[in-house]
Every structure is written in structure tokens, then in C-alpha cells.
Amino acid sequence: MNAHFRFYAELNEFLPHDKRFQPVTISFKGRQSVKHLIESLGVPHTEVDLVLINGHPVDFRYLVQDGDRVAVYPVFECMDITPLLKLRPEALREPRFVLDGHLGRLAAYLRMLGFDTLYRNDYEDEKLAEISAGENRILLTRDRGLLKRKMVTHGFCLLTKDPRQQLLEVIKRFDLQSCFKPFARCIACNGILRKVEKADILDQLEPGTRRYFNDFSRCNSCGKIYWKGSHHDRMLSLVTWVNESLNRKLPESDVKNICKKNEK
């Protein structure tokens, strides 16, 4: 018996080179589940979010029949496919980003909210595309040409130039409101923040900081120290602003103004 498989987007990275981005015919004997046949080609079932057999959704227990046409899709970052038959109750990986050189402020905002955000202002377009593809990062940019590169499979073209509005665009596009982890990442380098004892960093603190603050975190990459000062207040303010902005409906006049700006 034979079944005809087609794997989409980044799932092809798990396939042998000669089977990528094209229909693959699998010969099999006896009762074989679709999960078993998918994994026989090297694709872990944990990377799969939707399976269609002859256009109809099935779960991993489906027993493949002779002549079946099987479409296999990866984890969806933003599309709600629950009505079809989403094979995962939630995303299997946290969204990670890489930003082009014009989005430094947006990078800082995303890090403030705890998202893994890679940014340097000297990355060339080719390097950005390579990082996006190689590290499974969502490429954020206002350059549509960059997103047309063949190797870029995860990307988003921002419509506005305002960094705070860009942040809202990204959160809405990838449904991130429930994923905020403030005070988890270094704003400067994207490293992870860890709690550190005051006594261990006493010689690195200014007299006023030593006197008035007792709780500290330090970046595990660059060593930058954080405490609940003005920076902490700015982060709380950003989280509050984002939540309020997402939870309120814009007046029709504001929507029209935003649309006009985006058309220019």
C-alpha cells in the first residue's frame, strides 16, 4: 500500500534533502498510524500541529489507507485552527524574534515583556534571513523585500513607524498578551536575568542604590545589574499601557487616522 505525504514550511527541515518541499510517497504494510508514518520520515510528532487526510482533519491515531493524501502542517504561531483539529492544546515553542536594524526601540520593548529578541543594528539582510531560518525566529521588519527571500518562512511586515504601535501590532499578530514575562530579560543584550544577593554585588552599586534597594537581578550574559528603580517603573508602565490598549476598542476616528498614516 502507498500513501502520498506533503510536509509544509519548516517541517521540511526534518526530511532528507531529496524529499523536501515536494510530495513524498510512502509504501507500508498492515495497520499503520499516521503518527508512525510521519515519524518514519524523521519528523517528530511534537512539531506537527495539523494533519489533513484527503482534505479532512484527523488525529495521530488515524490508520492510513492505501491511496491517502496526507498534508502535514507545523505549529501555527497565530492562526486559530481549533475548529479543524489542532493536535496541540497550545503552542509547542515560545515565539522568538529577530529584528532588522531599524527596530531597536521595538527590540527593547519586546525584551521588557520577556520575549527572546535578537537585535543588532549592523545585521545585513542576508544574515537576518539566515538567522530567521536557522534559529526558527520570526523576522520582524518594515522591508517587504526582505520577507520575500525564499529562506524566510516566519516573518511579519510592520505597518507603522511608531515603536509602541509596532509592539501592539506584534502582540496582536502572534496573540502574545498571555505570554508576558516582565523583568525576565536584559534590555541591553537579551540575556536571562537571575536574582543575585546584594552582598555579592555591593562593590558595583552606587551609594544611593546600596542604601535604598535590596532586591537585585543580574544578566547572565553581560552582567548588567537591575533593581526596582525608575527602569522597573517604566517596565510596569509599558505592561499597563499595552494591556489597556489591547483591551479597549479604538474610536472609529482613530482607526481612520491610523489607516491614513499606513497608506502614506
Where residue 104 sits, what CATH number does that domain have? 3.40.50
Q: Domain range for residue 19? A: 2-74
Which range in 90-99, 194-203, 227-236 is most confidently predicted, on average pLDDT?
194-203
Give the CA distances from residue 179 to residues 48, 90, 136, 176, 191, in Å, rounded to whole numbers and listed in that order: 21, 12, 18, 5, 18
Does residue 172 share a domain with residue 214? no
Rounded Cα gap, residues 45 and 34, in angstroms: 10
Say yes or no: 143 and 170 in one domain: yes
How far is residue 95's CA from residue 174's CA, in Å, rounded to a whole number? Answer: 8
Q: How many residues does the chain have?
A: 264
Confidence label for 151 from pLDDT (cuts 50, 70 and 90): confident
Q: Looking at the structure, do residues 160 and 202 belong to the same domain, yes or no?
A: no
Mean of the per-residue pLDDT values of the chain: 84
**Cα 264 → chain centroid:** 28
Of residues 147 and 202, more confidence is placed in 202
- What pLDDT, on the 0 to 100 scale, is given for residue 79? 47
Residue 242 lies in a domain: no
Rounded distance between C-alpha atoms, residue 190 and residue 205, angstroms: 22
More confident residue, 190 or 257: 190
261 within some domain: no
How many angstroms separate the Cα of 8 from the Cα of each of 111, 134, 258? 30, 16, 35
Residue 82 makes CB contacts below 8 A (sequence gap 6+) with none
The answer to whether position 46 is within a domain reads yes
Please state the rounded mean pLDDT for residues 230-255. 74
Domain-terminating residue out of 74, 105, 126: 74
pLDDT reading at 200 higher than 70:
yes
85 domain residue, yes or no: no
Q: How many domains does the chain have?
A: 3
- In the predicted structure, residue 30 carries a pLDDT above the cut 80: yes
For 69-99, what is each residue's pLDDT tens digit? 999 998 654 444 455 555 644 443 578 999 9
pLDDT at residue 250, rounded to an integer: 46
